[in-house]
Amino acid sequence: MLFNRHPANPILVPNPLNAWEALNVFNPAVIYHNDIFHMFYRAQGLNYVSNIGYAFSSDGVQFNRMHDPIFAPEGQYEMRGVEDPRITCLEDEKRFIMAYTAYSDFGVTPMFAESTNLLTWKRIGALVFGEDNKDHVLFPKKIQNQYFSFHRRPPSICYARSPDLVKWDLRGPILIPRPDSWDSLRVGAAGVPILTNLGWLVIYHAYDSDHVYRLGACLLEYEAPWQLISRSNSYFMEPAEIWEQKGDVPNVVFSCANPVVDGTMYLYYAGADRLIGLATAELQDVIDFALNH
């Protein structure tokens, strides 16, 4: 088994004492900064409006969370929630970028916000308006002096470039579904791409005609990440635990976070859109999987 599920799973569950997170907690971003794991998780109450909560941990397993959301819906494009955060540290600029999905009667809109302290966030704007587009995530370094982001125009992972995080040139696709495979209907990016000595390591989710969400990996060229080096033929995780198979949306393992600490990848994921779990693997083993499986 490539990834080992943590024995403490699920590591975060709904809190029935807080109306905004009483039903589901799932799809968290997690970033390791100043020796602390910072988690930003999507949460829903009985009204199904998503807020983003904040929790922190010294070991990546036992989290303490704030009583109130750290990021709440605001404006007409977020009337029905803010969802699925992915957080990138831009070390050279000493700031963090949150890629999140706004949900409203207009549909879904891929948005960005920024912070210098991980606690207060300022909205930047949208990657694109007026189309079914989400699962976007910002790369941690500029490429050819441009910011580089994944986004998803169904059913594929596409890319976009920007000089300023405001005006985006949408391109792609990079990764498309494969017929008669575990990723045959739709693919989407997971957490922030990881720079390795072979290129960018990318974890991605996908589903097939049975609508089972699984996780796989690929490698992209460093200076031209729209070029694929290798892609795993098989998946490394599928719903197996009861809480991954039964929930608000059955048969889902979905990740927005894969930080690496001391050579270990911490894969934070949601099970069935209800609970949050953790699985770990050695980074080199994940690279080997992307190359050889």
Q: Look at residue 172 and tell me whether its pLDDT is greater than 90.
A: no
Which position has the token pair 């391109």? 171
293 falls in which pLDDT band (50, 70, 90)?
A: confident
Q: Identify the H or E element spanning 219.
A: strand 213-220
What is the architecture, at CATH level 2, of domain 4-292?
5 Propeller (2.115)
Alpha-carbon torsion 187, 276, 52, 267, what sign? Answer: negative
For the chain, the maximum distance between any two Cα atoms, rounded to a whole number of angstroms, is: 48
Please report the pLDDT score of residue 1 as a whole number.
77
Strands 264-271 and 275-282: antiparallel
Query: Average pLDDT, whole number, for the chain?
Result: 97
Give 176-221 pLDDT, tens digit per residue. Answer: 999 999 999 999 999 999 999 999 999 999 999 999 999 999 999 9
Bond before 110 cis per omega within 30 degrees: no
Strands (E), 45-140: 50-57, 64-65, 81-90, 95-104, 107-115, 122-126, 134-138
Annotate 148-176 with three-state secondary structure.
EEEEEECCEEEEEEECCCCCCEEEEEEEC
Closest CA to 210 of 239, 231, 233, 190: 239
Q: Which helix (H) or strand (E) holds 43?
A: strand 36-44
The torsion angles phi and psi of 235, rounded to 5 degrees, stand at -95, 160
What pTM was computed for the model? 0.97
What percentage of the chain has pLDDT greater than the value 90?
A: 99
Question: Number of helices (H) and strands (E), helices first, in the chain?
Answer: 2, 22
Nearest in space to 30 (alpha carbons), one of 65, 1, 68, 77: 65
E strand or H helix at 199: strand 199-207
CB atoms within 10 A of CB 262: 6
Residue ranges of domains in the chain: 4-292
Which whole number is the average pLDDT over 126-139? Answer: 97
What is the per-residue pLDDT across 8-64, written as a single tens digit (0 to 9) for each?
999 999 999 999 999 999 999 999 999 999 999 999 999 999 999 999 999 999 999
Q: Is the pLDDT of residue 87 over 80?
A: yes
pLDDT of residue 248: 97
